[in-house]
Chains A and B, each alone.
Chain A
Amino acid sequence: MIGFTAVDDVGRVVNPMIVAGQVHGGLAQGVGQAVLEGCVYDDDGQLLTGSYMDYTMPRADDLPNFDVATQSVMGASNPLEVKGVGEVGAIGSPPAVVNAILDALAPLGVENISMPATPNRVWQAIQASSVRQAAE
């Protein structure tokens, strides 16, 4: 991932630094959902991703620099004209990341991949595709 741009409508921006921080955190969560984070259980119901040695929480060096901006329409429901900003970055980021992966895999005919799209899953999708192509 080489870059990430996010634009959100948060109503009136009261504290720009806190707004940017909330968006950064949300983007990290969203990227984590898209490519890193997943709870895995075995057949007996035992959690296999029980620690951060196995559960991939997004960390700073997993992420690119974020380019964030607001394009606000003032909120009409309250006198401060604010809207929510908590975790707003987590809404658009998973589909954005997964669509970027699918765009890269489009020449191979891959149209779907489950989250988190780990390296193993991306590789499997590529393998399955070349098998199909070879059969044609």
Chain B
Amino acid sequence: MYQFNYQKAGSQDDAVSALSSAEDGKFLAGGMTLIPTLKMRLAQPSNLVDLSGIDGLVGIEDGGDSITIGAMTRHVEVASSDVVGIKIPALQRLAGNIGDPQVRNRGTIGGSIANNDPAADYPAAVLALNATVITNKREIAADDFFDGMFATNLEEDELVTAIRFPVPEKAGYAKFPNPASRYALVGVMVAQTGGETRVSVTGAGQDGVFRAGEIESALSGSWSADAAKGVKMSDDDLNSDIHASAEYRAHLISVMASRAVDAAS
């Protein structure tokens, strides 16, 4: 680990101004990616601005036809939330299967989506459930938020404050975990919200999370596991690594989509 300055922000404005005045600052949420990255000397930020002391960034709010989750809400809180369990059970199960208990007790939803790891679980939920990302400056639709592997359309000094999920008619998530890291080798979320069918895929795409239009069409025609499984995905633009070839990932997308439909409620 290289040296860095640590600052604990007391408010959103405090955090943004600390970051703006730093030479090369980073927001620190749960640190589940950033801290290991620092330990391996893969990054050398001048300043870490800790967000854990800011009021109002933690909590789950029931808005009737939507749920709003504060950016610094830990995975374990989503996984154990009655409101999430009743309104969007797929999101509750997704949160409960991220990483391991240590990760779920530290990692945050805001950190996960701002980092946009191509194999993280939450980006799939944001995209399939057509969530809105709320920042200190604006609201960003899910389709406009993610911008390729480890990239988003957040501005340099923009801070995710909450994510608002509309309550779907039904939604399901299935992931084939990487046996070592428990990240998604392939994870698929299927959802029907306001009559619209959306299917997102994480873990497989070279550019990170994406929507699978072929499976969306198939499920719009017939919401069934067989319809999802019948779609033959192309392996163009899919990841190939030591854990799975692009061909295998293409196969897994259809299989996980069908399991997600089976699990949907």
CB-contact partner of A54 in B176, B242, B244, under 8 A = B242
CA of A54 to CA of B40, assembled, Å: 15
CA of A62 to CA of B245, assembled, Å: 22
Interchain CB contact under 8 A, B180 and A54: yes
Interchain CB contact under 8 A, B180 and A56: yes
Q: Look across to chain A and name the residue whose beta carbon is closest to the beta carbon of B242.
A: A40
Interface: B64 (CB within 8 A):
no
Query: Beta-carbon contacts of B243-264 to A below 8 Å, as 1s and 0s?
Result: 1110110010000000000000
Interface of A, secondary structure class, is loop
Q: B176 to chain A: which residues have CB within 8 Å?
A: 119
Interchain CB contact under 8 A, B181 and A53: yes
Within 8 A of B (CB), among A36-63: 36, 40, 48-49, 52-57, 62
Interface of B, secondary structure class, is loop
Q: B180 to chain A: which residues have CB within 8 Å?
A: 49, 52-57
CB-contact partner of B242 in A48, A62, A127, under 8 A = A48
Q: B247 to chain A: which residues have CB within 8 Å?
A: 127
Interchain CB contact under 8 A, A120 and B243: yes
Interface: A4 (CB within 8 A):
no
Q: A36 to chain B: which residues have CB within 8 Å?
A: 179
Please classify how large the interface on chain A is, using the bins under 10, 10 to 19, 20 to 34, 35 or more: 10 to 19
CB-contact partner of A123 in B179, B181, B251, under 8 A = B251
Q: Look across to chain A and name the residue whose beta carbon is closest to the beta carbon of B40.
A: A51
Within 8 A of A (CB), among B105-153: none
Query: Beta-carbon contacts of B162-177 to A below 8 Å, as 1s and 0s?
Result: 0000000000000010
- Shortest CB distance B150–A (Å): 15
Interface: A124 (CB within 8 A):
yes
Interchain CB contact under 8 A, A54 and B248: no
CA of A86 to CA of B245, assembled, Å: 37
CA of A123 to CA of B245, assembled, Å: 10
Interface: A99 (CB within 8 A):
no
Q: Look across to chain B and name the residue whose beta carbon is closest to the beta carbon of A56.
A: B180
Interchain CB contact under 8 A, B244 and A120: yes
Query: Beta-carbon contacts of A118-129 to B below 8 Å, as 1s and 0s?
Result: 111001100100
- Shortest CB distance A31–B (Å): 12
- Shortest CB distance B177–A (Å): 10
Interchain CB contact under 8 A, A56 and B179: yes
Task: Report, nearest first, the 5 A-B pairs whose CB atoms are least far apart.
Answer: A56-B180, A53-B181, A56-B179, A40-B242, A120-B244
Chain A residues in the interface with B (C-beta under 8 A): 36, 40, 48-49, 52-57, 62, 118-120, 123-124, 127
Please name 19 pairs of A and B residues whose Cβ atoms are closer than 8 Å in the assembled complex, sorted by A.
A36-B179, A40-B242, A48-B242, A52-B180, A53-B181, A54-B180, A54-B181, A54-B242, A56-B179, A56-B180, A57-B180, A118-B243, A119-B176, A119-B248, A120-B243, A120-B244, A120-B245, A123-B251, A127-B247
